[in-house]
Chains A and B, each alone.
Chain A
Amino acid sequence: MKRRTFIKDLAWGSLVVSLRPWSWAQSATPGSPIAVVQGDSPGQLVTTAVNLLGGMSKFISRGDVVVVKPNIGWDRTPKQAACTNPEVVATVVKLALEAGAKEVKVLDNPCNPARRTYARSGIAKAAKAAGAKVLFPNPHRLKKVSIHGEWLKEWEVYTEFIETDKIINVPIAKHHSLSRLTMGMKNWLGALGGNRNQLHQKLDQAMVDLAAFFKPTLTILDGYRILWRNGPQGGRLSDVKLAKTVIAGQDYVAVDALGAGLFEIKPEELGFLRLAYQNKQGEIHREKMNIVEKKI
């Protein structure tokens, strides 16, 4: 019944934010560990990273409905590194189910036609095989909700991302000419409907507002193949670098800050990280983070 009442609340409007069940249950805990794992198998990187954080059962409770949000934005193959690595997504799904999740949903609102991006990224097939429910964005599930952001006050959001117990953000690390990099915080644009391209007029602020709104249980950044230039979709294999890294943690700001390191960019150089830090949403200074590193 929880879901149904919740939807009713949505319809009634402004109760939305106050009733989000996860909003008090999960918040980016400052000082929580951040796992940085390097190795050859994308799936194993995820498993190891999650284990370093204490295992998936630390984040997912038995019976939870979990939404996994990869980047399935582009009609590109995994080697082109425009979408999250399918093995990474599948492993996250598998771990969540093993931790007792009742249901794992995988979805994204892509830039290219969904039927193509879901198939050609390899994500739909891999996630389905791992036991997830892979969903195309459903326009009937769009609701205008209060974002309560500094700049973004309200926007249309796919309600799958709100009416869920837990949410795991699984972005890929890529170049982007406006925000310089797109990782976890930028990934939330894929949970939106509406004319989201207008968000580019104040993109850094939009990213920070959205990250604070969605507040993922866990962020697992796919840095296996990273898109070095011509982002966010690249195209040529020479745009891609093999970084063989996965960065995971509850502090989504710290995850993005460490992700910037893959591109040899200092976190302070990135507008959205500076804003998020000022807003006390998370840590950007490496020396103040509790980093657990491992090479496999």
Chain B
Amino acid sequence: MSRKKSKTYRFLQLARIISQLLFFSLFFILLLQTRFPGEDYIGNVEIFFHFDPLIGLTSFLASHLIFSAFLFSIITLVLTLLLGRVFCGWICPFGAIQQFFSFLFKKLKWLKIKSQDTFSPKAWKYYLLVFLLSAALLGLNLVGFFDPFSLLYRSFVTSLLPALAFIFSAFLTLTYQLHLFALGDTLVQFSENLGVNTIFLQALGLGLIFIGIALLNLKKERFWCRYLCPLGALLGLFARWNRLKLHLDEDKCIQCGLCTLQCETDAIPYPQEKWAITECVYCFTCGAICPTSAITFPFILRPQPAAMVDLSRRKLLATTLLGALAVPFFRLSPSRVRASAKRIRPPGALPEEQFLQKCVKCGECMKVCPTNGLQPALTEAGPEGVWTPILVPRIGHCEYYCTLCSQVCPTGAIQPLRVEDKATVKIGTAWVDKNRCIPWKIGEPCLVCEEHCPVSPKAIQLVETTVQLPDGSTTTQRAPFVELERCTGCGICENKCPVVDSPAIYVTSVGESRSATNQVLLQSGRGESSPY
């Protein structure tokens, strides 16, 4: 018998790697493009998310609102119905990263594939999916913690890119120390143009999660994709009826078991009756590695229904219940009773309950924010709201004519805002701390907050205050007074306040237009002021 590896599948394997590289590059370019584009409106830089049926489904289940952009995800489902989980193997950028690390760890011999390895919890991801769907059905959207696109995007925005920027900046310092001024200047202008936000709360934690998932590949190749990914599980369900089936030529097969050993997703190519159609991501490793070219994937027009991964009915029931049980536990939070002062949502954000049902914590808004002010929440919005965006004015304010975060939100948790309407949206209210304010407290001139207030007429007006000095004399200064109705809560006053540590003027969420209850004034109707 001739022993010859298949050239076709070797070629397909290479094609798959190129496809993964291309889609990852596309993802990365779109990520970098998610910044102020030089004009008021940005294109569909968030398009990747709309091909994600998991986000579309859970957002719909939780909020009962259909976001039309997710119709794109039907393409993914149809693709899966026809060709199985090629999305996981050929397209998904997070899958590509897992595969890259698996490859790296194998090359470094840190990952050795054992022939007698019984560890194979393929069912985990299905249970996770059931948990997420069951919680979503009851209005609790936890998909953002586990969705691969959210995870990848968030990791890049809040930790990986900032870390790269940090290294780059250190390199720049070195360039200037070596007196390579022309080079340094060019690089600085280049990096300024990229507009990468470099400061993030929880950057370390979010980075560690990403690294942790990458390190799981030390245990098994593509650990995340095999055992954890809920999107992979969802696609697995659809892959059952697909037309691309493994065919093992019994005559050629020498039963070496190499295919099953090297399979990246526990799909078990040999023996054929064990092959799991829901697990195969069509990486074609088996086809390429088979010493006798016994494995092919013919396209079958009328496939027989194939077996599903063994799921225990008891566990399915348990995870469904667990998803339901999660609802009260995630909601035993004071932030549901009374708004937290620091929970300042981006302009255009839906009322809090709906916002949490839609937000997938992806970090698109945090990437596009021109001031770096949008940050992942930790405790400010309760357990449901971990990693959802909040404005931290001390880091960056909300730019008056900018609506970019509302434009890039992939789920509509932040509703698209037109620039003309931005000034009518109030996200909070500024308060003067008279005990720290320079004119109020020590009678020296300042007015930096008033200078920066973008509202016209200014929301910060000036009043005279007389301060008694220790020598018995008095001094009169003009001091800031916030007109509550006019203030939009943009936070530039807090950001620029020269009392650098704890600012003498600060914004809290009260007065936000999206809430009926988080209000100070009984009558809230904004004045006649127009942004133009």
Q: State the A residues within 8 Å of B (CB).
A: 4, 7, 75-76, 111-116, 119-120, 135-136, 138-141, 176-178, 195, 197-198, 200-203, 229-230, 232-237, 239
A111 lies within 8 A of B496 (CB): yes
A230–B458 Cα distance when bound, in Å, is 6
Choose among B370, B456, B478 the residue with the greatest number of A CB atoms under 10 Å from its CB. Answer: B456
The answer to whether A116 and B446 touch across the interface, beta carbons within 8 angstroms, is no
B400 touches A75 (CB 8 A): yes
- Give A120 to B458 CA distance when docked, in angstroms: 21
Total contacts A to B, CB within 8 angstroms? 100
Q: Does B38 touch A at the CB level, under 8 Å? A: yes
Is the Cβ of B401 less than 8 Å from the Cβ of A75? yes
Instruction: State the CA gap A176–B448 with chains docked (Å).
Output: 11
Binding stretch for chain A, among B11-19, B179-187, B385-393: B179-187
Interface residues of B in 365-380 (CB under 8 A from A): 370-371
Interface contact B456-A230, CB-CB below 8 Å: yes
Contact A115 B452 (CB under 8 A): no
Complex interface: chain A residues within 8 A of B188 (CB)? 136, 138-141
B173 CB-CB contact with A under 8 Å: yes
Q: Is B36 touching A116 in the complex (CB atoms < 8 A)?
A: yes
Cβ of B267 < 8 Å from any Cβ of A? no
Contact A177 B399 (CB under 8 A): no
**How close is B94's CB to chain A, nearest CB, in angstroms?**
29
Which residue of A119, A176, A200, A230 contacts B498 across the interface (Cβ within 8 Å)?
A: A200
Is the pair A200, B447 in contact by a Cβ cutoff of 8 Å? yes
A172 to chain B, nearest CB (A): 15
Cα–Cα distance between A236 and B497 once the two chains are bound (Å): 24
B4–chain A nearest beta-carbon distance, Å: 58
Which of A115, A140, A234 touches B36 (beta carbons < 8 Å)?
A: A115
Q: By the criterion CB–CB under 8 Å, are A140 and B184 in contact? A: yes
Q: Does B39 contact A (CB under 8 A)?
A: yes
Q: Which residues of A contact B43 (CB under 8 A)?
A: none
Residue of A114, A201, A237 near B532 (CB, 8 A) is A237
Set A120, A141, A195, A203: member contacting B445, Cβ < 8 A: A203
- Report which of A111, A116, A138 forms a contact with B402, defined as CB distance below 8 A: A116
A197 to B499, CA, bound (A): 9
A99 to B457, CA, bound (A): 43
Contact B446 A236 (CB under 8 A): no
Q: How large is the interface on B (under 10, 10 to 19, 20 to 34, 35 or more residues)?
A: 35 or more
Given contacts A136-B192, A140-B173, contact A178 B445 (CB under 8 A): yes
B494 → chain A closest CB, angstroms: 12
Q: Which residue of A lies closest to B181 (CB)?
A: A7
Q: Is the CB of A195 within 8 A of B192?
A: no
Residues from chain A with a CB closer than 8 A to the CB of B69 are none
CB distance from A76 to the nearest CB of B (A): 8
A75-B402 contact given A119-B36, A197-B498, CB 8 Å threshold: yes
On whether the beta carbons of A201 and B438 are closer than 8 Å, the reply is yes
Are B456 and A200 in touch, CB under 8 angstroms? no
Give CA–CA (A136, B194) in the complex, Å: 12
Question: Contacts A136-B189, A140-B184; is A113 near B36 (CB within 8 Å)?
Answer: yes
27 A–B pairs (Cβ distance < 8 Å), ordered by A: A113-B371, A113-B399, A115-B193, A115-B370, A116-B402, A119-B36, A119-B38, A120-B401, A135-B185, A136-B188, A136-B193, A138-B189, A138-B192, A140-B184, A140-B188, A177-B462, A177-B478, A178-B446, A178-B447, A200-B446, A200-B448, A202-B445, A229-B457, A232-B451, A234-B456, A235-B456, A237-B532
Given contacts A176-B451, A178-B447, contact A116 B399 (CB under 8 A): yes
Q: How far is the CA of A4 from the CA of B178 in the complex (A)?
A: 12
Task: Report the Cα distance A261→B18, complex, angstroms.
Answer: 67
**Which residues of B have CB within 8 Å of A136?**
188-189, 192-193
> Is B348 in the interface zone, CB < 8 Å from A?
no
Question: Which of B188, B444, B497 has most chain A Cβ within 10 Å?
Answer: B188
Q: Does B42 contact A (CB under 8 A)?
A: no
Are the CB atoms of A112 and B399 closer together than 8 Å? yes
Least CB separation from B195: chain A residue: A115
- CB <8 Å contact, A140 and B496: no
A7 to chain B, nearest CB (A): 7
A233 → B minimal CB distance (Å): 6
Chain B nearest CB, measured from A166 CB (Å): 19
B455 touches A235 (CB 8 A): yes
In the assembled complex, how far is the CB of residue B263 from the closest CB belonging to chain A, in whole angstroms? 48
- Neighbouring A residues of B500 by C-beta, 8 Å: 195
In the complex, the answer to whether B192 meets A178 with C-beta atoms within 8 Å is no
Partner of B456, one of A4, A7, A176, A239: A239
The CA of A270 and the CA of B36, in the complex, are separated in Å by 39
Complex-state Cα separation, A76 to B446, whole angstroms = 24
For B500, the closest partner residue in chain A by CB is A195
Residues of A within 8 A of B455 (CB): 235
Residue of A nearest to B396 (CB): A113
A115 to B190, CA, bound (A): 12
A236-B448 contact given A115-B195, A116-B402, CB 8 Å threshold: no
- CB neighbours (8 Å) of A232 from chain B are 451
A214 to B447, alpha carbons, bound, how many Å? 25
Bound-state Cα–Cα, A237 to B498, Å: 30
What CA separation (Å) do A23 and B346 show in the bound complex?
49
Ranked 3 nearest A-B pairs via Cβ? A235-B456, A136-B192, A197-B498
Instruction: Tell me whether B450 is interfacial, beta carbon within 8 Å.
Output: yes
Interface status of B44 (Cβ within 8 A of chain A): no
- B303 in contact (CB, < 8 A): no
Query: CB within 8 Å of A: which of B279-303?
Result: none
A239–B457 Cα distance when bound, in Å, is 9
Tell me if B454 counts as interface (CB < 8 A to partner A): yes
Interface centre among A136, A140, A203 (most CB of B within 10 A): A140
Nearest chain B CB to A113 CB, angstrom units: 4
